[in-house]
Amino acid sequence: MAHPMIAPSILSADFARLADEASAVEGSEWLHVDVMDAHFVPNLTLGLPVVQSLLAATDIPLDCHLMIDDPGRWAPGYAEAGAYNVTIHAEATDDPRAVARDIRAAGAKAGLSVKPGTPIEPYLEILKDFDTLLVMSVEPGFGGQKFIPDVLGKAKAVRRLVDSGELTLVVEIDGGINADTIEAAAEAGVDCFVAGSAVYGADDPAHAVRALREAAAAVSPHLTLAH
Ligand code: DX5
Ligand code: ZN
């Protein structure tokens, strides 16, 4: 039985106090870092220098979600810096496998993300070369959007392949995850839940993380709380 993973997204944190915002969610499995380039998505956030500072400021493994064009050029740098998982978008490159190889060679886990409208079937074969599948449940670019339940079919399809042993992957979901939506995602077979506004918009972010983890474990057929 796997343990539900919660990855608070610092997109909803105070960027002037990132070290404190990371300590506020101590005990989270991953800290989700949204890198946006104002080209692949219509928003601009942060890049490698901020990730390097954050790596020095927290022990939580960093989950870098690169919403950028030309990930082959930039992704290995995040791995070299010490990010635990580096996820690229399937829509941003013609050769996701080559990028995964470079990320792994630079010492990180490699993730593949798909936007809500991108089907998973064309990528099932290459998922063997990845460690994480990040299913977007909102259009990438902004926090605080509404969860799109249609994407859960992709999580279910990949969960089946993981359960049957054909793939070894963390199934992660990102966008609109909160107390109302996490159960449906957990039932669909998600292992790792990104939550931005639901964690950093709460009075007690650490409590919000625990509550989300418990809610996921309570309904999931494949997740349980570690004791
Ligand atoms: C959106 C980002 C998400 C975002 C999620 O493009 O990838 O990680 O922070 O925010 P919430 O949880 O508020 O939808
Ligand atoms: Zn994200």
pLDDT in tens, 148-207: 999 999 999 999 999 999 999 999 999 999 999 999 999 999 999 999 999 999 999 999
Q: Of all protein residues, whose CA lies closest to atom 7 belonging to ligand 1?
A: 140
> Which atom of ligand 1 is nearest the CA belonging to 145?
14
What pLDDT band is residue 63 in, cutting at 50, 70 and 90?
A: very high
180 among known catalytic residues: no
CATH fold label, 5-219: TIM Barrel (3.20.20)
- Share the mean pLDDT of the chain: 97
**Mean pLDDT throughout 82-86?**
99
User: Which residues are within 5 Å of ligand 2 (an ion), measured at CB?
Assistant: 34, 65, 174
**Mean pLDDT throughout 121-125?**
98
Which class for 216: exposed (0-12), middle (13-18), buried (19 or more C-beta within 10 A)? Answer: buried
Q: Residues 34, 37, 63, 191: which is the catalytic one?
A: 34
Q: Is the separation of the CB atoms in 78 and 33 below 8 Å?
A: no
Q: Is the pLDDT of residue 1 over 90?
A: no
- 24-53 pLDDT, tens digit per residue, is 999 999 999 999 999 999 999 999 999 999
Query: Within 6 Å (CB) of ligand 1, which residues are found?
Result: 9, 11-12, 32, 34, 65, 138, 140-145, 174-177, 194-198
What pLDDT band is residue 133 in, cutting at 50, 70 and 90?
A: very high
Q: Residues 63, 102, 131, 174: which is the catalytic one?
A: 174
34 among known catalytic residues: yes
